[in-house]
Structure 1
Amino acid sequence: MGKITKYLNQLIVGNVFDTPEILEAYSTDRSVLKIKPKFVAFPESTEDIRKLMRFFNQIAAKEIPVSVTARGTGLDEGGADLSSGGLVISTEKLNRMLEIDPRERLVRVQAGITLRELNTALSVSGLTIPIGGHNNDTIGGLISNTPVDDSAGKYGGIESFVERVEVILANGECLQTSRLKKYNIAKKATEKSLEGDIYRKISKLLKTNAELVSEMSKNPTHDYSGYPAIVKLQYKDTLDLMPLFFGAQGTLGVISEVILKAVPLSKRPSRVVATFKELDAALEFAHKVKSLRPRKINFYDLKIIQEARESGKNLDGVIRKLEDGFVVLVSFDGRINSCVKKVANIQKEFPRNTKFIFETPENRLILNEFENALAAYLNSAKSSERVPILTDFYLPARNVSGFLKDLKVLEQKLDLDLALFGSYATSIYSLRPKFNLEDKDFNKKAATFLRAGAYIIDRQDGKLAGGTPEGRLKAVVTNTNMKDAEQILYSEVKRIFDQNNILNPDVKLGANSKFTLTHFRSTSLPKIML
């Protein structure tokens, strides 16, 4: 154990490790990257995080910079959970629900609590946070990565449920967000602290760039690269810093506590599965049911379901025996009977050879098996891995057909199996082709796929970082394509919050293409990505 590790263990109640086994375990997330940290800390309180940040900020001021990365359960697919030779702060011990107000439907939690843990606790009071993300995502991680989940088309995603956040700033100060009026903003700006500095400089930045911010707010880009939520900070004469932390990936501060607004538990969802030979028919059906405001509308290339069947899934009772085609899964959790009747009427508009399956108690288990088909597909590769290189991108509904035409050309050119899946309701899609990570040319092939895929996404008016922020991986493309004025604005935001550039400095705007592309993994991860 090194001297710094010993000192840090004396400094905090939790533990800090530098043992090879632990560093190795935290050198990967769910991305294609592998980057080993120097230290991994397990704080047991907000005060522990404050002490860690204060220490590393102080040594950075003495020109000894060490990067600090906050990490929940390590499910990020863009490499933002990794630290390049620095400190990883794991929030896994900060996983308590601190208080709940069932009458107001408010709950205060530590950032490391998972979605499953939180919703299990809330269910006792008949409440829930209806996010369709991974059950093992932490609340802090959901805020930092702001994934556009399958249910976001109806419920709006994690942003719709967060009332306030508590953030540990780069120098160890604790910032509690709230919407402040003009008088309170001026009062905060006079404080001799980093928080005061932030309020003063952000207010000035917004004033100086008022025209740019106004233009950005009028033209939503469906793009989480940079800090686009800056357009949401001001409302009339008020200012709230909270939106900046959505999608910031730990580059502006470490989220320690969160207050969320829960909603009543809804009824058990009812599902409809429809199989189509032709793309246009599948898209027409998805478009028609979208007006019924379902919980989700998931879209799959039939090749995904076929591969799941080959892995042992019994899906003959759900989908037609087609060689190719498309499957649409619709799930309703409100006005279920009315919606299902309307879907039955929509069914009459399609050819009889289009197969529709409406959920009943008798076929519920079969539909559960169908919903697990994607997990089977993602984890079925034996000597290779379906790595997340081109995932969670935005694609407008009007251009899905054009994108698939471009995709066929790309599939032949790169000799890859490119089956599209995603959410029609949110317009967020993914591609997960097989790659052999032990192939000596894997890095080159993967980088080519990333750039070529990003090109056709852009060609079809899509956005590479439309469903999740850019992290390290997507930044290879987004940092090059970002408008100069926006990049300058976002860089200034980063400097205001993190003067010594220690908070995840190699992520988002600070990502280095060469570093990223030379740190691809050469071995597969355990296949647990569901």
Structure 2
Amino acid sequence: MAGYRWDRANDPGAGVPLAVVRATSTADVQSAVRFAARHELAVVPRGAGTGLSGGASALSGCLVVSVERMRAVEIDPATRIAVVEPGALNTEVKAAAAEHGLWYPPDPSSYEICSIGGNVATNAGGLCCVKYGVTSDYVLGMTVVLADGTAVELGGPRLKDAAGLSLTKLFVGSEGTLGIITRVLLRLVPAQRPPCTLVATFASLDDATRTVLDLTRTMRPAMLELMDRTSINAVEDVTMMGLDRTAEAMLVVQSDEPATHGVAEIAEVTAICQANHSTEVFSTDDAETGEAFVVARRMVIPSLERQGSLLLEDVGVPVPQLGALVRGIEAIAEEHVITVAVVAHAGDGNTHPLIVFDASDPDESARAQAAYGQIMDLAIGLGGTITGEHGVGRLKKDWLPAYLGPEAMDLNRRVKAALDPQGILNPGAVF
């Protein structure tokens, strides 16, 4: 059962489960939950195990309910809907939709290995979310198993539905604390047009973040990503693709507007980058070349993992505060003498500070943990959030009360108590 103890966050407090149930159907999940309720066992739902906040870390003596074998994907091209089991990978849904000329937009950097169940449980975003939104914008309905083993059908294949409370949305982002999702109805859209890609480098991080603000004031690109110098160099170490190691920041921008409009949008992006003193601007409509830069952006986390252990942040702020957040993170890294790389879905203010440290060094580990907490405090102080798309999990729950405030925190707990009175569903995560 060792492989079911940790998710990608590698929570050092992960326990050893009593047993692992590898469900193949909603009925299997119901049986497991009813057994757990009868014996008052904690239940930890698990998908692909790629979560970054410890939401799927096992508890000692718990029942891990894995949905990794529930992989079915059915596409209805007439209604543009995918009916998906939670263990299906994000990339499998994309591929199935593409066979019908359709597209499922949410695209976390881990889209090739993360599951739809986990995406829904954390309301995952991705590189295209600046224009196309996050997972909750595509979930139309679901089957969810409640804490007493009851399976409830929520929502359905309708683009508009205002009947009753929005219970479907309640379960999106609930991180397995309110129920276990066993089937999801996802909205699909027409296939994305071939994008044009622009890459701009900046000698100053402030110039790059100011460029992001100028871009978001006037347009809505299909992608607007930022990498700082540490991220650039980590990726260049692995890919040797000729990235500018001296740049303080690099932006990766895409436009998927129709041909002439796309050219005009990229030209406008170029002008804004140059007005903000970019050192180099390169653009292409060649799909392969453009994808190479997108892959470089997706490579940041695995590239940094080669340098040591990671504490992965997921803090977001209003876009006008992006510069203050990034500079604040830089100051925190200097204060604690620790490496913190910053990569960001810059267009919506969602940053991923990545703290690199030696887990075998107690002093460095303590400094990393201190920096981790200060970064979340910084984000809250700037009017931001402790998580934009990775979830609270077990690693961030101590900061949730300060972020939500006492009234909202109490309301969260009341909802949890109403749906899970025994407190068996993913205890220790979020609450």
Q: Is the TM value for this pair above 0.5?
A: yes
Q: Could you tell me how far 1:250 is from its partner in structure 2?
A: 0.5
Corresponding residue SS for 1:329: strand
Partner of 1:223: none
Q: How far, CA to CA, are the matches of 1:501 and 1:353 in structure 2?
A: 53
Counterpart pick for 1:334 among 241, 257, 268: 257
Q: Give unmatched runs, 5+ long, in structure 1.
A: 1-22, 61-65, 180-233, 510-530
Deviation at 1:394, TM superposition (A): 0.7
Give the alignment of 1:452-467 within 5 angstroms: 452-467=374-389
From 38, 41, 52, the counterpart of 1:58: 38
- The one-letter amino acid paired with 1:323 is T
**Aligned mate of 1:104, from 65, 73, 79:** 79
Counterpart of 1:314? 241
Pick aligned residue for 1:429 from 343, 351, 361: 351
- Deviation of 1:477 (Å): 1.7
Q: Which has the larger radius of gyration?
A: 1
Q: Which amino acid aligns with 2:283?
A: F
User: Of 174, 195, 207, which aligns to 2:151?
Assistant: 174
Partner amino acid for 1:94? M
1:358 corresponds in structure 2 to 283
- One of 36, 45, 56 as aligned partner of 1:81: 56
Q: Give 1:154's aligned residue.
A: 131
Distance change (3 Å), C-alpha of 1:459 and 1:339: same
Match of 2:174 in 1: 248
1:70 aligns with 2:50: no
Deviation of 1:238 after TM superposition, in Å, equals: 2.7
Contiguous gaps of at least 5 residues in structure 2: none
2:344–2:352 CA contact under 8 A, matched in 1:
yes
Asked if the contact 1:386–1:432 (Cα under 8 Å) also holds between the matched residues in 2, the reply is: no
Give the AA of the match of 2:280.
K
> Could you tell me whether the CA contact under 8 Å between 2:71 and 2:88 is conserved in 1?
yes
Q: Please give the alpha-carbon distance, in whole angstroms, between the structure 1 residues aligned to 2:203 and 2:412.
A: 45
Note the aligned Cα RMSD (angstroms). Answer: 2.4
The aligned length equals: 419
TM superposition shift of 1:273:
0.6
Q: 1:367 to 1:171 in 2, by over 3 A?
A: same
Aligned to 1:415, which of 318, 329, 337? 337
* Alpha-carbon offset, residue 376 of structure 1: 4.6
Report if aligned partners of 2:355, 2:372 keep a CA contact under 8 Å in 1: no
Match of 2:320 in 1: 398
Change (3 A) 1:27 1:441: farther
Judged with a 3 Å threshold, the aligned counterparts in structure 2 of structure 1 residues 286 and 402 are, in CA distance, closer, same or farther, namely: closer
Alpha carbons of structure 1 residues 275 and 385: separation in structure 2 relative to 1, 3 Å: same
Tell me the SS of whatever aligns to 2:155. Answer: coil
> What letter is aligned with 2:219?
L
Aligned-residue offset at 1:374: 4.1
CA drift at 1:473? 0.5
**Matched-pair contact (CA < 8 Å) for 2:106–2:124:** no
Q: 254, 259, 272: which is aligned to 2:185?
A: 259
Shift of 1:297: 0.2
Match of 1:17 in 2: none
Query: Per the alignment, in what secondary structure is the counterpart of residue 340 of structure 2?
Result: coil
Name the residue aligned to 1:478: 400
- 2:3 is aligned with 1:25: yes
CA distance 1:401–1:109, shift in 2 (3 Å): closer
Q: Deviations over 1:195-225 (max 9, x none)?
A: xxxxxxxxxxxxxxxxxxxxxxxxxxxxxxx
Which residue number in structure 1 is paired with residue 270 of structure 2?
Answer: 347
Distance 1:125 1:87, change over 3 A: same
8 Å CA contact retained: 1:153, 1:426: yes
Contact 1:68-1:87 within 8 A present in 2 as well: yes
Are residue 323 (structure 1) and residue 246 (structure 2) matched? yes
CA contact (8 A) 1:276 1:325 kept: yes
Q: TM-score of the superposition, structure 2-length normalised?
A: 0.90
C-alpha separation in 1, matches of 2:214 and 2:327: 23
Q: Aligned partners of 1:109 and 1:495: how far apart in 2?
A: 29
Write the distance in 2 (CA, Å) between the matches of 1:380 and 1:27: 24
* CA distance in 1: counterparts of 2:211 and 2:260, whole angstroms: 18
Would you say 1:45 and 2:25 are equivalent positions? yes
Judging changes above 3 Å, is the alpha-carbon distance between structure 1 residues 71 and 500 closer, same or farther for their aligned structure 2 residues?
A: same
Q: For 1:436-494, what per-residue CA distance to the aligned partner results, in whole angstroms no more than 9, with x for missing partners?
A: 11123455233212212122222322211233321111112223553221122111111
Contact 1:128–1:262 under 8 Å retained in 2: yes
* Selected match of 2:70 from 69, 77, 94: 94
Offset at 1:101? 2.3
Tell whether the 8 Å contact from 2:98 to 2:191 is kept in structure 1 after alignment.
Answer: yes
C-alpha deviation, 1:366, in angstroms: 4.7
Quote the offset at 1:46 in angstroms. Answer: 1.1
CA distance in 1, matches of 2:351, 2:21: 35
Whether the aligned pair in 2 keeps the contact of 1:127 and 1:264 (CA below 8 Å) is yes
Q: 1:121 to 1:373 in 2, by over 3 A?
A: closer
Is the CA contact (8 Å cut-off) linking 1:32 and 1:388 kept in structure 2?
A: no
3-state SS of 1:393 partner: coil
Per the normalisation by structure 1, the TM-score is 0.74
- Which residue identity does 1:170 align to in structure 2? A
Contact 1:247 1:468 in 2 (8 A): no
Per the alignment, in what secondary structure is the counterpart of residue 485 of structure 1? helix
